[in-house]
Chain A
Amino acid sequence: MERRKARILIAGGSESGRTRLKAYLDGANREFAVEVDGRGALAAISSFGPDLVVLGAIESKPIGLEVCKQLKHDPATAGVMVLMIVPLGDLGDIERVVEAGADDFLSEPPHAAELRTRVDNLLRLRL
């Protein structure tokens, strides 16, 4: 039986950041959706059904942390893995990301090998 493709939603961050993330993560047996803001991300979570959301910083409402919280508080989507990629300048940043329910996090800008490793691990936990 053929295993279905892993679905990854990339949302938030800068346009160049999203392009870079997709290039880092692109590979066989994966399909992607890309969204610019929180509203688009929440819509894509319903329509695209991602296994993993790679969530960058979003400043307009709903911000990235709110997207993560909504996703994790809804029983229908709580199992979707969330990797947040945001500036992690101080302890407060990490606390906020953990409180929002993120499954893991990376400091912006991510290192390619570290990003791939973390995404592989989160997909293994999901699939």
Chain B
Amino acid sequence: MSQRKSRILIADDNEPNVELLQAYLDGVDCDVAVAVDGRDALDKVASFSPDLILLDVMMPKLSGFEVCTQLKNDPATRGIMVLMVTALNELGDIERAVDAGTDDFLSKPVNKLELLKRVENMLRLRHVSDEVDRLRQYIQQMEDESGPAAKA
């Protein structure tokens, strides 16, 4: 069975930043979508079903922190990996990102190798988590099916 391509959502209102991230991701075998503000990011999560979001902190309508908090509080979306893009010297951003439930960080200015390494790890984690969920469901199903027979 072939695994579907990974999906990455870039959420950033700054067009040059988006273009740079898209260029850096060019060699990664993935589909990419772009959201231009926090509200758009939540809409694109629903329509695009990303595996990973590169989430800028400062965005109109909803900040990256608010978007991340909403995603992580919703059982339907909490498995989506969030890589929050923070300003290098804004140390308070890191604490706020952790509180919001981010899975990792990326500092601005974004370095290509750092981005690619972190994206690789985030996508691996996403697939590992999916696999664990599938195994849990399988075990639960086996237990449910064997339960009455085992008790008899």
* Residues of chain A having any CB pair with chain B under 8 Å: 91, 94-95, 98, 103-105, 111, 113-114, 117-118, 121-122, 124-125
Contacts and interface: CB of A to CB of B under 8 A. Distances in A.
Interface stretch (B8-16, B45-53, B56-64, B121-129): B121-129
B111 A91 contact: yes
Contacts of B114: 94, 105
Interface residues of B, number: 17
Nearest to A81: B121
B98 interface: yes
Contacts of A104: 117-118, 121
A80 B102 CA distance: 25
B90 to A, nearest CB: 11
18 contacts: A91-B111, A94-B111, A98-B117, A104-B117, A104-B118, A104-B121, A111-B91, A111-B94, A113-B98, A114-B94, A117-B98, A117-B102, A117-B103, A117-B104, A118-B104, A124-B128, A125-B121, A125-B128
Contacts of A125: 121, 124-125, 128
Contacts of B111: 91, 94
A114 B92 CA distance: 12
Interface string B4-37: 0000000000000000000000000000000000
A121 B104 contact: yes
Nearest to A127: B128
Contacts of B118: 104
Given A118-B104, A124-B128, A103 B121 contact: yes
Given A118-B104, A125-B125, A113 B117 contact: no
A70 to B, nearest CB: 20
Given A113-B95, A121-B103, A121-B104, A105 B117 contact: yes
Given A121-B125, A125-B125, A113 B113 contact: no
Given A113-B94, A118-B104, 12 more contacts: A95-B113, A98-B117, A103-B121, A104-B121, A105-B117, A111-B91, A113-B95, A117-B102, A117-B104, A121-B103, A124-B125, A125-B124
